[in-house]
Amino acid sequence: MSDAAAVHAELVERAEQAAMKLEKERNNRWYPSFHVAARSGWINDPNGLSFFNGRYQVFYQHHAYSAYWGPMHWGHVSSEDMVTFRREHVALAPSIEADRDGVFSGSAVVGDDGKLYAYYTGHRWNNMFNDDDGALQVQCLATSEDGVVFTKHGVVVEGPGLKHFRDPKVFRIDGIWYMIFGACSEDNRGQVWMYTSTDMFNWEFDRILFEDPNPDAFMLECPDIFPLGDKWVLIYCPMGPRKDAYQARNSHNAGYVVGDWAPGEDFKQLTDYRLIDWGHNFYAPQTFEAPDGRRICYGWMGSFTIGTPSQETDGWGGQLTVPRELSLDEDLNLINYPVAEIEKLRGEKTEFGSFVLGLNQDKVLLEQTPPCEILLDVDLSVTDSERVGLKIGLTEDGSHTYVGYDSLAERIFVDRRLVGNGDRGYRAAPFPGGDKLSLRILIDRGSVEVFVNGGVQSVTSFAFPNAGDRAVVLSSESGSITVDRLDIYPLDTIWEDERQ
Ligand code: FRU
């Protein structure tokens, strides 16, 4: 083993040991059961999503030494089916000059030599400490034969030394490799840059593929581009835009534009910028193509600006969303919906059938809420309740998260004004219209993911309930609710070694 490899091996081992130590103190009251999270410590963006050696590989930005963001590593889990996971060793640690202050986000692809190629941003602060004196970011490469132990190859894209210059996403078309990443131009505009390569090591500047028309956006984090049908979807996370009515309420928001693109051409934008998800905690999504051709996306549930109580007391912070399949509808809206495999986690169904909940009624659906999934279909043509509401995680003291449909605002909401713990606030996605309301709500110990009418919109938020029995209650307000179907399934854990 070379000296550099030995140093890296020691640093990933040290991080692994730190995570295992902190894991012993982890409090599970809000720790996810069917979402990917680190065994302990902090995570942010999904990285290196790929299918390699017969398994789905899911890496993520990770700080193993505390539940807060710190010098970034890549943590790692893998799965044969996207719903049964095992933990893998911490994959990448800062160990060379180029990534001295962090192994930042990036992607992974399988080369013709059968190795996994992980491209990531090497991050250095000029003052070795914080952003005040600027930073230097370059794109780096590490390869692996088994997907677990990585060999670093150093910098593959130096760039012109821009302050924000990060998050490489690599893909191949007709034998040519393409890399896109986000940049902040010298005049402070958010851009997506493109490089190409034929051998995966030598990269050449191709073009500035996209500049956000919004002049407030100074950096586009975690860009991703992929075809759906005959269109291309460009996902990015603009830094800078201010709050705008219901949209862009978070300090960090993830969205997309749809356009036409072909190798050697500029990207032609056909739609306006739209949010992928309207919740409090959905950021830095990354996609990959599954072996059967599906385009799958994981997002990060977390926040850089408003911490969670789990960080303060429970030894962990941040989780990934469930994997979601992406598609486009005829209006070029991006549909995102849990992959079909999630149904494999289902336990015994409780069916409530069809019924009418009368004026100003509460119906207890569950006395205690295990990690579960609720499927609710409502006939809006005969429903006159002002809201179709579900109180989730309702404890004796009245605290809960309120999720549902607001007929006045014509929106699907997650309202945390009475949440037991953590950040409050209200988020709401536009309801697509029509007489049929179909909600699919995934409830984990500390989160809700709400999918509207097959994934036309989604709302993803942390929701940390209080201790005690946590009920789910259906609630009508100043009118009645006509339910066509209401099914609830408990969902099993994704951790192989915790299954009964
Ligand atoms: C987005 C991001 C990326 C960066 C990483 C650092 O959440 O800021 O741009 O690579 O997180 O952890």
Backbone angles phi, psi at 19, to 5 degrees: -65, -40
CB-based contact 317:310 (threshold 8 Å): yes
CB-based contact 122:137 (threshold 8 Å): yes
What pLDDT is attached to residue 129?
A: 86
To test the pocket of ligand 1, the residue of 92, 101, 104, 252 to mutate (highest count of ligand atoms within 8 Å of its CB) is 104
CA distance 490 to 60: 27
Two tokens, residue 283: 């950021």
CA distance 64 to 53: 26
Residue nearest to atom 8 of ligand 1 (CA): 221
CA distance 78 to 58: 6
| Centre of ligand 1 from the C-alpha of residue 406, in Å | 34
Query: Which positions are catalytic?
Result: 45
What pLDDT is attached to residue 1?
A: 85
Element containing residue 252 per DSSP (H, E): none
What pLDDT is attached to residue 240?
A: 93
CB-based contact 453:409 (threshold 8 Å): no
What pairing do the DSSP bridges indicate for beta strands 447-452 and 426-430?
unpaired
What pLDDT is attached to residue 128?
A: 86
Two tokens, residue 27: 């409090």
What pLDDT is attached to residue 395?
A: 98
Residue type (1 letter), 170:
V
| Centre of ligand 1 from the C-alpha of residue 110, in Å | 23
- CA-CA distances (angstroms) from residue 477 to 362, 385, 396? 9, 5, 21
Element containing residue 171 per DSSP (H, E): strand 165-173
Nearest to 181 by CA among 170, 200, 168: 168
To test the pocket of ligand 1, the residue of 73, 221, 304 to mutate (highest count of ligand atoms within 8 Å of its CB) is 221
What pLDDT is attached to residue 323?
A: 98
Residue type (1 letter), 207:
R
Ligand 1 pocket residues where CB is under 6 Å: 44-45, 61, 72, 104-105, 121, 166-167, 221-222, 283-284
| Biggest CA pair distance of the chain | 73
What pLDDT is attached to residue 326?
A: 98
| Centre of ligand 1 from the C-alpha of residue 105, in Å | 6
What pairing do the DSSP bridges indicate for beta strands 316-317 and 41-52?
parallel
Specify the ligand 1 atom closest to the Cα of 283: 7
Per-residue pLDDT of the chain (500 residues; tens, 9 = 90+): 899 999 999 999 999 999 999 999 999 999 999 999 999 999 999 999 999 999 999 999 999 999 999 999 999 999 999 999 999 999 999 999 999 999 999 999 999 999 999 999 999 999 888 888 889 999 999 999 999 999 999 999 998 988 899 999 999 999 999 999 999 999 999 999 999 999 999 999 999 999 999 999 999 999 999 999 999 999 999 999 888 889 989 988 999 999 999 999 999 999 999 999 999 999 999 999 999 999 999 999 999 999 999 999 999 999 999 999 999 999 999 999 999 999 999 999 999 999 999 999 999 999 999 999 999 999 999 999 999 999 999 999 999 999 999 999 999 999 999 999 999 999 999 999 999 999 999 999 999 999 999 999 999 999 999 999 999 999 999 999 999 999 999 999 999 999 97
Residue type (1 letter), 431:
F
Residue nearest to atom 6 of ligand 1 (CA): 104
Residue nearest to atom 12 of ligand 1 (CA): 104
Token pair 């996403």: residue = 169
